[in-house]
Amino acid sequence: MPQTIGERRYVKQATRTTTADACDVHATVQRMLSEIETGGDAAALDYARKLDGYNGALILSRAQIDAACAAVPQRLKDDILFAQDNVRRFAQAQKASLTDVAFEMEPGLMVGQKTIPVDTAGCYVPGGRFSHVASAIMTVTTASVAGCKRVIACSPPRPETGIPPAIVYAAHISGADTIVAMGGVQAVASMAFGLFGLPRANILVGPGNQYVAEAKRILYGRVGIDMVAGPTDSLILADATADPFIVATDLVSQAEHGWNSPVWLVTDDAALAATVMSLVPDLIAALPQPNRASAEAAWRDFAEVVLCPDRDDMVACSDAYAPEHLTVQAADLDWWLDRLTCYGSLFLGEETTVAFGDKATGTNHVLPTSGAAAYTGGLSVHKYMRVVTWQRSTPAGARRVAQATARISRLEGMEGHARAADARLAKYFPHETFDLSADG
């Protein structure tokens, strides 16, 4: 039965959650990581041969890259170049927004920040059912623009043919220094542990299945990661002005990602909700397999349609979901832009769609899922940057700081810290007496 919460009514509710059997996945991934770390190249290669079913070269040579690039039709090359150029230019604008800073805190005391890119980025580009050309663009381009000294791209090879040529081309033109034909946990481990002659990755980025996501989660701390990602999710806010066919089409377009990819419609118009729900089954039925099966399961088990009393409640409902992708198909777009706060990426108006952002507009499609948009944003140039601080002082600039440090340190019981401050006061101001007790 649809649930009612206050004046908000769930016309369609999910019957399942996206929580996988986390214990089994964790145990499997932990065992694989331990075996690969201990066994090195041989263990990773064994997993690659067994799980990827590929016996070709793991590290692509320049000749292999050139051959793959030559196999990509020119029109597709043009499309990939268009998308990559948009991602590159947006990443450059993002980088320009994060600058070095230096200012005088008080006379004689200078403080500042520097932005320094990590040395090596490991970019995972999913394979499987889809050739994720766009993921190669999104991850490798941002790392290159950030200024990483080395960018590694790993993607699952197909048993007989290796990495699809379009992925190789996208990774190459986006700035990958090394392209590795390997997928899954073994690829993540190889980048993190520096196997096969690769430098150890300082950060691992990119989407992947639950095993890839769990490997990144386990390794976090030893290396940086962009985020722990779950199944992709999308929410549409729509009012009576929305086109039901466009809304339904957009919901189905995201449901095809996978059987456990939630899509949500939040609206204040009951007629729109009913029309959209009537359209979705036929739109799903028109998809080719296996996309159809994925969308059917996602819509049946995970989709929700929520009817709200007004647009203020629609905003509150959306922020509670904190969706990865948030689309607004409603009047007064600026009103929504000003009020919505929790989302990975926002698409305003029917002229935009998540599919555009996934592929070609320039904003990144590696985004927080499973409500993580409530506390973090998506992949950007900033994820590869270390914002570090520095300070420099004259003796006069240290005078007030040293006194405060000594007294606060003694209040905390950290006498060694206090004496580091005392020593400087004694050296720089030998003829002065200071009360440096905690209760002075």
Positions annotated as catalytic residues are 324-325
> Of 263, 253, 284, nearest to 352 (Cα)?
253
**72 CB-side CA count, 13 A:** 25
Helices (H) and strands (E) in the chain, counts: 15, 15
- d(CA 285, CA 275) in angstroms, rounded, equals 17
The two most distant CA atoms of the chain are separated, in Å, by 88
Contact 64, 57 (CB under 8 A): yes
The secondary structure element, H or E, covering residue 178 is strand 178-181
Euclidean distance between CA atoms 341 and 328, whole angstroms: 13
What is the per-residue burial (b if ≥16 Cβ within 10 Å, else e) of 234-247? bbbbbbeebebebb
Distance CA 5, CA 308 (A): 10
> Which of helix, strand or coil describes residue 391?
strand
The residue written with tokens 């729109």 in the block is 272
State the pairing for strand pair 150-155/178-181.
parallel
CA 300/CA 180 separation, integer angstroms:
38
- Strand segments, DSSP code E, in 182-268 are 203-205, 224-225, 234-238, 263-267
Burial of 344 (0-12, 13-18, 19+ CB in 10 A): buried
CA distance 369 to 215: 17
Q: Is residue 156 left, alpha or beta, with left meaning phi > 0 and alpha meaning psi from -120 to 50? A: beta
Please list, residue by residue across 309-337, b when 16 or more beta carbons sit within 10 angstroms of its beta carbon and e when fewer do: eebebbbebbbebbbbbbbbbbeeeeebe
